[in-house]
Amino acid sequence: MRRSWPIFADMSTLLELQRQLRRAVLGGDAVELAAAIRGDGLAPAARLGIYRNHAFATLGAVLERTFPVVCRLVDERFFAYAAHEYLRGHPPHSRCLVEYGADFADFLARFEPCKDLPYLADVARFEWCLNIAATVREAAALAIETFATVPAEKAASLALRLQPSVRYFASGWPIDEIWQANQQSEVPTVDLASGGTCIEIRRAGDAGAWRRLDPGTFGFRTALADGLVLAAAAATAVAKDPGFDLAAALDCIFAEGLIIGFAD
């Protein structure tokens, strides 16, 4: 004969118990939950702490793997602190943890203790783009011959779909140089006043790769990625670079296998 333990009023359902345990694991109050836990020779708070420590340690390690240069720039202890604060308010939604950290850069941009490193959030954005490129496979590219069959009067109002791994990234800081310098054991000096960057990040082989683009090309491709039709994307590019050559730019994006289809 099984004996039923009294169940606390608002702990009467599994759903509520799990909500309370979730809050406790994420660092919230656990007073009410503690009453539902057997001591077994150890305080319930200490038992909850074992689960909390595991969640924070493993998720913190995930962020460290995705943002290694951010971690190096602030050192491991500070990174662990920042990751802890981020985790509390932004636990993962996807259960595939390589997809965790999409808004870590936005968090860092608002995180007061990081205010002395104004480029840090952009380094995080850059590393997130590299992560996307390493986790999203490229699709079959559209041949320029297919594009050439589109009547000229319709081409201007076409929107193009780009490779799903590609990201465009602009910063007022030399983010790529900062990132590159931090791949070396002895970090060389980076001239932070050397200017900003416009970068294309895309899968190459099985990892993310990047390169700088001139302002016209960057404006054109960013506009396409944002879903603008060709005429509008070309206008954006000309605004950045009056000498922008649309025909040459189209040749390039098809030659690079960047376009995978026409948008609806």
- Residue ranges binding another protein (CB under 8 A): 2-7, 11, 13-15, 17-19, 21-22, 25-26, 35-38, 40-42, 44, 46-48, 50-51, 54-55, 58-59, 62, 91-99, 134-137, 205-207
Of 126, 111, 96, 135, nearest to 210 by C-alpha is: 126
* Contact partners, residue 92, CB within 8 Å, separation at least 6: 59, 99, 100
Q: What is the rounded CA–CA span in Å between residue 133 and residue 161?
A: 16
Secondary structure letter of residue 106 according to DSSP: H
Secondary structure letter of residue 2 according to DSSP: P
Cβ nearer to another protein, comparing 19 with 212: 19
Cβ nearer to another protein, comparing 164 with 215: 164
Cβ nearer to another protein, comparing 71 with 250: 71
Q: Are 138 and 162 in contact (CB under 8 A)?
A: no
Cβ nearer to another protein, comparing 96 with 140: 96
Question: Least CB distance from residue 90 to another protein, whole Å?
Answer: 9
Paired tokens of 105: 């850069």
Question: Least CB distance from residue 260 to another protein, whole Å?
Answer: 14
Helix, coil or strand: residue 220: helix
Q: Are 27 and 88 in contact (CB under 8 A)?
A: yes
Question: Least CB distance from residue 163 to another protein, whole Å?
Answer: 12
Question: Least CB distance from residue 23 to another protein, whole Å?
Answer: 9
Question: Least CB distance from residue 85 to another protein, whole Å?
Answer: 16
Question: Least CB distance from residue 5 to another protein, whole Å?
Answer: 4
Return the half-sphere exposure (C-beta side, CA atoms, 13 A cut-off) of residue 65: 11
Q: What angle do CA 68, 71, 74 make, to 5 degrees?
A: 150
What are the DSSP calls for 123-167, one per residue?
A: HHHHHHHHHHHHHSPPPPPPPHHHHHTS-HHHHTT--EEEPTT-E
